Homo-oligomer: A and B are copies of this chain.
Amino acid sequence: MQSDDFIQKAKKSLSSNECMAFFCSCEIKYSGRAEAHLPTGDRIIIIKSDNTILVHQPNGSVPVNYMKEGSSIEIDNKDNHAFIKSYNQKHKDSLQIEIYLIHNFISQRLEDGQKIHLEGSEKDMSDMIYDNPSLISKDFKPLAREEHTKYGFIDVFGYNKKGELVVIECKRYTAGPDAVTQLRRYVEKIKSLRGLKTVHGIIAAPKISPNALKMLDDWGFKFVSVNPPKRLETYKKSQMGLNDF
């Protein structure tokens, strides 16, 4: 495809609020939160109707360059090839794409009012623990979940049989050192806010890393193995289906 042809189509796509995708050989420079340069190669480029720009290499799931929605986009001719310049005032960054060869191009107005519905988040996990406190221990009496205001962002907290406060930090995956320091912060915060000497801390996660477990021991906290909800639900079913053959 000729550069002039591409520029005309791309401008039309932008002005009619369409989304476009094209494959091209290009060179890219980014400046803003960092400085980046990507030498010439074949890329997949998407420009959406909200002026989001995504540049993908032929492998991998992460864009090699991008600009977020609300950026300005200019498309010009420079030395007989197309040149895309994008600025984002909010994020103070800019992207420049020098296009040496356009392999193909598609553009279309897209309609999509749907939002993804997701189950199995950490919130769902803390809800599960709140509703099934025996997952932690038979003595645990939950008081509240997802306290985002008074005591910080504590996932679940409650009492043990002695009436002592228990703070639970949930993680959907292997808990690392960060999870333990997070728990430690919350426990200390509650201690100081309520003037208590004894507040228990529990990490609820499927696994915990060795270093994290050592830190947990050092601070007198406990680990309880809990599997997050909704994990693999449909996957397992379809695997069962496959195994029927």
Contacts and interface: CB of A to CB of B under 8 A. Distances in A.
Interface stretch (A76-84, A106-114, A128-136, A154-162): A106-114
Given A21-B44, A93-B235, A112 B32 contact: no
A241 to B, nearest CB: 11
Contacts of A104: 106, 108
Contacts of A120: 33-35
A126 interface: no
Interface string A161-196: 000000000001000011001101100000000000
Contacts of A177: 185
Nearest to A56: B46
Nearest to A173: B33
Residue from A38, A49, A105, A234 with most neighbouring chain B CB atoms (10 Å): A234
B59 A52 contact: yes
Nearest to A235: B31
A59 B64 contact: no
Contacts of A230: 34-35
Interface residues of A, number: 73
Interface stretch (A3-11, A65-73, A142-150, A197-205): A65-73
Given A43-B112, A182-B181, A58 B238 contact: no
Contacts of A57: 112, 114
Most chain B CB inside 10 Å of its own CB: which residue of A60, A67, A121: A60
**Which 3 A-B pairs have CB atoms at the shortest separation, nearest pair first?**
A41-B112, A31-B234, A34-B120
Given A39-B114, A42-B110, A44-B110, 14 more contacts: A19-B44, A34-B121, A35-B120, A44-B48, A49-B58, A50-B58, A50-B59, A52-B59, A54-B61, A58-B110, A58-B111, A59-B69, A65-B116, A181-B184
